[in-house]
Amino acid sequence: MAKLLLPDTENDVTPKALFLNRRTIIKTAGAAMLSSAAPALFANSAAPSWLNKKVQNTVYRSMSTDETLTEQYDATRYNNFYEFGTGKDDPAKYASEFNPYPWEIAVEGECDAPGVISLEDLVTSKALEERILRLRCVEAWSMVIPWTGLELGTLLKRFKPNSRAKYVVFESVVRKEELRGQKDRFSFIDWPYVEGLRIDEAMHPLSFLAVGMYGEALPPQNGAPIRLLVPWKYGFKSAKSIVKIRFVEKEPKTTWNISNPKEYGFYSNVNPNKSHPRWSQATERRIAGNGNIERIPTSMFNGYGEVASLYSDMDLKLFY
Ligand SMILES: Nc1nc2c(c(=O)[nH]1)N[C@H]1C(S)=C(S)[C@@H](COP(=O)(O)O)O[C@H]1N2
Ligand SMILES: [Mo]
């Protein structure tokens, strides 16, 4: 696989506290380079052309990086998406069995304007944004991936959460006929896959909803057509293929926390000082692609230190 070279005017990681003020518009030429440099391996012919166009044409970059991007090949073939099976290659192998379009998200619970929003309404009203983010799995591997999407908080505000909305719940899709992992009688997951955030975490500008990666509509194995990205938390918090968002008052029960509360806390902030009961979290295997895997130190909050103020009054070893 050729190394994916993205046009870049900022050659260092954008200082995080400033990233919102330093948005770089990728001009038409840049956007063209972006899409041609990222060959359509999954060509995502299943995705509607309006979505592919939207992802390709209206991207501006708000976060860049000097880290090596993970090859698109690896980011779309080494996945965790138990709806397709528990093997790392199951999601890519069975991706074509899942046909997400058309798609809508129901937003309900503690809010003044509940409702259903179609994917089309969700992306057409707004210029999409590209963010290059580190994704750190609790299993201690990580990738650096260019995503396209919109700030989560921007969407949530449209539904007017009320004062009882202390948490936000995200539910992934259930379609036993298309997602073979959901037919597995021995699956330990009680579908749907559910994740949650505290409302201030959800409203933090770093919380993101992606509809694309590498300049294309998301492929099914990465959570088509829309998935969450909470880059300072372990990857399992970033629920894929979201169909429902609910504002609630109490901390919700979430899939991995239910399965093993000692191993997977509700917060699950990336924390090199808090070991998983069965392995250290001090380092990670950075998967760059082309067989390049490097052992590197893990950073607090996965390097996104600007979220620290969300937890200033909390002992993060207790609230892991
Ligand atoms: N619905 C759903 N979302 C999910 C998962 C899953 O199994 N089901 N796996 C999570 C885990 S453990 C990780 S590490 C990331 C992986 O995202 P990627 O395959 O796009 O790298 O998705 C997360 N979101
Ligand atoms: Mo993960």
| pLDDT at position 232 | 98
Burial class (CB in 10 A: 0-12, 13-18, 19+), 154: middle
Smallest CA separation from ligand 1 atom 8, residue: 81
Kind plus residue range of the DSSP H or E element containing 134: strand 129-136
Place of tokens 């380079």: 33
For a mutational test of ligand 1's pocket, the pick from 76, 213, 236, 286, i.e. the residue with the most ligand atoms closer than 8 A to its C-beta, is 236
Cα–Cα distance measured from residue 320 to residue 312, given in angstroms and rounded to the nearest whole number: 14
How far is residue 179 from each of residues 90, 173, 204, measured CA to CA in Å?
11, 9, 32
For a mutational test of ligand 1's pocket, the pick from 80, 136, 211, i.e. the residue with the most ligand atoms closer than 8 A to its C-beta, is 80
Per-residue model confidence as pLDDT tens for the chain (320 residues):
333 333 233 222 332 222 222 233 333 333 334 443 444 444 466 899 999 999 988 788 889 899 999 999 999 999 999 999 999 999 999 999 999 999 999 999 999 999 999 999 999 867 799 999 999 999 999 999 999 999 999 999 999 999 999 999 999 999 999 999 999 888 889 999 999 999 999 999 999 999 999 999 999 999 999 999 999 999 999 999 999 999 999 999 999 999 999 999 999 999 999 999 999 999 999 999 999 999 999 999 999 999 999 999 999 999 99
Smallest CA separation from ligand 1 atom 4, residue: 239
> Which of 221-245 are b and which e, b meaning 16 or more Cβ less than 10 Å from the residue's Cβ?
bbbbbbbbbbbbbbbbbbbbbbbbb
Torsion over CA: 86, 91, 92, 95 (sign): positive
Neighbours of 23 (CB within 10 A): 13
Cα–Cα distance measured from residue 256 to residue 233, given in angstroms and rounded to the nearest whole number: 13
Q: Where are the domains of the chain?
A: 3-311
Smallest CA separation from ligand 1 atom 11, residue: 236
Using CB distances shorter than 6 Å, the residues near ligand 1 are: 79-83, 135, 137, 172, 193, 222, 235-236, 238-241
Point out the ligand nearest to the CA of residue 255. Answer: 1
Point out the ligand nearest to the CA of residue 147. Answer: 1
Point out the ligand nearest to the CA of residue 244. Answer: 1
Smallest CA separation from ligand 1 atom 19, residue: 79
| pLDDT at position 34 | 44
Distance 201 CA to ligand 1 centre (A): 19
**Which of these, 242, 216, 245, 262, lies nearest to 54 by C-alpha position?**
216
Q: Which atom of ligand 1 is nearest to the CA of 75?
A: 21
Place of tokens 């965790």: 80
Fold of 3-311: Sulfite Oxidase; Chain A, domain 2 (3.90.420)
Q: Which atom of ligand 1 is nearest to the CA of 234?
A: 14
| pLDDT at position 235 | 98
Cα–Cα distance measured from residue 75 to residue 6, given in angstroms and rounded to the nearest whole number: 16
Point out the ligand nearest to the CA of residue 144. Answer: 1
Distance 61 CA to ligand 1 centre (A): 24
